Amino acid sequence: MDPIPALSEMYLAMQTIVSRKVDPLESAVVSVCFMNAGTLGTYNVLPGEAVMGGTVRTFLPEVRDLVENTIKRMAEGIALAHGLKAEVTYERLISSVNNDERLTKEGVRIAQDLLGKDKIYPDFKPFMSSEDFSVYQEKVPGTICRIGISDENHTVPLHNPKFDFNDEVLALASTLFVKIAQERLNALSKE
Cα–Cα dist 143/49, whole Å: 44
pLDDT in tens, 136-178: 998 999 998 888 899 999 999 888 899 999 999 999 999 999 9
Asked if residue 56 has pLDDT above 90, the reply is yes
Lowest mean pLDDT among 64-73, 76-85, 92-101, 104-113: 92-101
Integer CA distances (angstroms), 159 to 14, 17, 32, 151, 165, in order: 25, 27, 18, 17, 11
Domain boundaries, the chain: 3-81, 101-190
Kindly report, residue by residue over 110-133, the tens digit of the pLDDT: 999 999 999 998 887 887 777 889
Q: What is the pTM of this model?
A: 0.74
What was the pLDDT predicted at 163?
A: 94
d(CA 113, CA 106): 11
DSSP strands (E only) in 44-182: 50-58
**Which CATH code for domain 3-81?**
3.30.70.360
HSE-up of 137 (CA within 13 Å, CB side)? 17
| Neighbouring C-alpha atoms within 13 Å toward the C-beta of 153 | 6
